[in-house]
A = this chain, B = another copy of it.
Amino acid sequence: VRSTMSTVASFADRLFDAVERTDCRVVLGFDPWIDRIPGELRTSGAQAKDPESTARLFGAFGREVIGLVAGRVPAIKVQIAFFEELGPAGLRVYSELLGVAREAGILTIGDIKRGDIGSTAGAYAKAHTGTGPFAADAVTVSPYFGRDSVAPFAAGPERGVFVLVRTSNPSAPTFQDLEVDGRPLYEHVALEVGRWGQDRGASGYSSIGAVAGATYPRELGRIRSLLPHTPLLVPGFGAQGATAKDVAEAFDGKGLGAIVNASRSLLYAHEKTEGSWKDALLGALETSRTAINEAIRAR
């Protein structure tokens, strides 16, 4: 068993290999919003408002997007909520798109933010890892239950987990900034997540990562310095307002250790341009990629 296991690279190693191969630190966040999907995809039946045809439209959009970004981004983060909204038909498409991305050689991050007591977290882990129906290379999870809710997802270093540490939304400070022994709560969560991630791949990073929002850049830099071996998944760039300079805080001295999610600013870039939606998306991706790489170099 050991020799079989050792042939599977850790999630962290696969992630940072893909970052170096693509020279891209941007992860495409696939958040399908029905009203913003490019008009040319909404052909006849796909325009209908029922969940089945909306799910088909999300699937068609997703496959096009994956085809466009394959080889250009290290990973795609798929937000399950927008599929769950459509019921079982939507979740079938969620599952399919994870498979399409995997076949295209793109690492998959299931943005699920699940969390529960151990036995229930085990059921979620069976759903979203390994051979489960919604298996992704990594998932996001919530920290409130403590280690019980995270451990089933982190059964081996080949599985990636990103634990919420500092979220990017306006009401994030309500609990996350409460002061405990002279430190905000999110730093305690960060340190605990760092303790959970004792595995180290060749990259020097654990497969237990943290979500650290870029809309709070000072906090992001603090989390980076507290967690030298923890990969950071950084939301909040683009539509949520964080800049390339803000997200540069998340990276180590070699420009690794983090990935930056961009969703709406890429998927709906066509709303602000004249050309095709594909050119708009690829243009926005290239602009983001180079801006982040340059901001890291400029530090």
Report A's interface with B, CB cutoff 8 A.
31, 51, 79, 81-82, 84-89, 91-92, 95, 113-118, 120-121, 123-124, 126-127, 132-134, 142-149, 164, 167-176, 178-181, 185, 188-189, 192, 235
Contact = CB atoms under 8 A, between A and B. Distances in A.
B51 A176 contact: no
Nearest to A96: B88
A116 B113 contact: yes
B142 A144 contact: yes
Nearest to A31: B120
Contact of A145 (B88, B127, B149, B172): B172
Given A31-B120, A147-B174, 14 more contacts: A82-B123, A84-B124, A84-B127, A87-B92, A88-B88, A88-B133, A115-B115, A117-B235, A118-B169, A145-B167, A147-B171, A148-B169, A148-B172, A174-B192
A121 B189 CA distance: 22
Contacts of A87: 91-92, 95, 127, 132-134
A254 to B, nearest CB: 30
Given A142-B115, A143-B144, A133 B82 contact: no
* Count of this chain's copies in the oligomeric assembly: 2
Most buried by B among A117, A121, A180: A117
A91 B92 CA distance: 10
Contacts of A51: 133
Contact of A144 (B85, B92, B116, B144): B144
